[in-house]
Amino acid sequence: MSALGTLAPGQPRFPHTVRRSIADTLIRSALFVVAFLSVATSLHPFPNLAEPRHITDVGDPINQIGFSALFLTIGAWVYFNNPGRLTPLLRPALLALVGWCVLTVITSWEPSLAARRLAFALVVMSIAAMMLLLPKNLRHFADLLAAVALIALAACYLGVLLVPSLAIHQATDFVEAPLVGDWRGMFAHKNEAGSAMVLFIFIGLFVARVRSLALGAVIVALAATFLIFTHSKTALALVLPVLLISTIIARCRPAVGIAVTLAILATMNLFSIGSIFFESIGDVLGTILPDRSFTGRTDIWQFALHYVALRPVTGYGFGAFWGTEHVVYGMGGGSIWENAAAQAHNSYLNLALIIGIPGTALAVLWLVILPLVDYYRSASEPANVAPRLLFLRAWLFGACASSVESVFFQIGEVWFLLLIAIFGLRLLSVMHLRS
């Protein structure tokens, strides 16, 4: 896992060298932990949901200042620590996707808003890429992920115990009052909390394999318990299948593994959005699910599909649809639920709305297909088995959850770890090809 560190074995240890190494480790560790926790909570932990959400096209100054500072700080560190290691991440598919997103900014009905949100997305993506250079080695990477998971879990449990009004959904929540009693910890919604707990379970399994069985078991137990109390249907439904499917994929030949995974993702989207078009699918869902509307998502999907058809090529501009005054106040044909939705609750549909169908195709290539190819191109040597499996699980969970949630380009723990997984798999595959 040399892509995660630069510490060469066998270096002579003099007092000044030891002090320098300790300082270097502390800097790397602090940057990693602060960046990860900041992105996971969007610098707004324990939000008060009793306050109404204001519709505005003005950016959040806390996020703007905080993430800019993180980007500049980590960027400065990388500049002095071999920035050329990031070059393999600038692959043609990513550059084409960014170029297309710039085009959608120009053609957007809210160009300034789309430009700010694209810039913010690129900052978050850059932070995720640079963070892979911070760990000194595989054990350090495991230590940092364990620290992140334990800090977040401690904050979530303390929130439930000490400030339940800010860590558990209440009847006084301005929206979605029926979620009363569901745990959300330091996150804004129980679904976000549930997804985070699934990722912490994956991290715990990774830590158990690389660092400490006992420490990993503690992380898994704490995350699994909290996940149960979130009552997040998507997270609860996916955690075991993702663990099983990732194990199967890891043992398949590349062509079979890629075909099976893409078939699973296509089927999940067929049974979600496809239920709108095919009555037979809806009937099947009605026999196995208590709510064939996916908790009202089918109404949002119909609303979104209508507006995708109106601007299928460039969409409405990167991040410039949901939450804008055009949608909330100016569009007819939708109920308050659809007009006030914060996302399409399907990543692929959400991409079609904001960057059009061609942009969605580029995004699927970079986010879905190439990571699978990178997984099979990376070396399966013993030192890479644990990180490859962690990255595969994080990627697979994000890709599967995207059929009923908007994960792609949505700031949060799932998107951030998904980015780390995509970049990590790329670096591992490049290491293998060069060797």
Tokens of 390: 């962690």
pLDDT the model gives residue 10: 45
Task: Say whether both 330 and 200 belong to one domain.
Answer: no
Which of 231, 249, 271 finishes a domain? Answer: 231
Task: Say whether both 283 and 382 belong to one domain.
Answer: yes
* Residue found by looking up tokens 């195709």 in the block: 361
288 domain residue, yes or no: yes
2 domain residue, yes or no: no
Rounded distance, CA 300 to CA 340, Å?
Answer: 10
28 domain residue, yes or no: no
Which of 231, 253, 270 finishes a domain? Answer: 231
Q: 0.85 cut: is pTM over it?
A: yes
pLDDT the model gives residue 272: 82
Which of 231, 258, 274 finishes a domain? Answer: 231
Strand, helix or coil for residue 428? helix
110 in Cβ contact with 320 (< 8 Å): yes
Task: Say whether both 254 and 292 belong to one domain.
Answer: yes
pLDDT the model gives residue 4: 58
Tokens of 14: 């003099």
Task: Say whether both 180 and 245 belong to one domain.
Answer: no
- Give the count of domains, the chain: 2
272 domain residue, yes or no: yes
pLDDT the model gives residue 145: 96
Task: Say whether both 163 and 297 belong to one domain.
Answer: no
Task: Say whether both 186 and 206 belong to one domain.
Answer: yes
pLDDT the model gives residue 341: 64
For 336-344, the CB contacts below 8 A with 24+ separation are 337/296, 337/299, 337/300, 338/299, 338/300, 338/303, 339/303, 340/175, 341/300, 341/303, 343/405, 343/406, 343/410, 344/300, 344/301, 344/304, 344/406
Rounded distance, CA 365 to CA 98, Å?
Answer: 13
308 domain residue, yes or no: yes
38 domain residue, yes or no: no
Task: Say whether both 181 and 252 belong to one domain.
Answer: no
Angle at 323 between CA 320 and CA 324, to 5 degrees: 60
Rounded distance, CA 47 to CA 59, Å?
Answer: 17
83 in Cβ contact with 200 (< 8 Å): no
Task: Say whether both 335 and 423 belong to one domain.
Answer: yes
pLDDT the model gives residue 251: 87
**Ranges of the chain with pLDDT below 70:** 1-16, 52-59, 177, 281-296, 323-342, 379, 432-435
58 domain residue, yes or no: no
Task: Say whether both 211 and 253 belong to one domain.
Answer: no
* Residue found by looking up tokens 């990388």 in the block: 78
Domain range enclosing 194: 135-231
Task: Say whether both 344 and 413 belong to one domain.
Answer: yes
Task: Say whether both 126 and 158 belong to one domain.
Answer: no
223 domain residue, yes or no: yes
* Residue found by looking up tokens 């549930």 in the block: 194
Task: Say whether both 203 and 276 belong to one domain.
Answer: no
Q: What is the pLDDT of residues 58-83, one digit of tens each?
A: 567 888 888 899 999 999 999 998 88
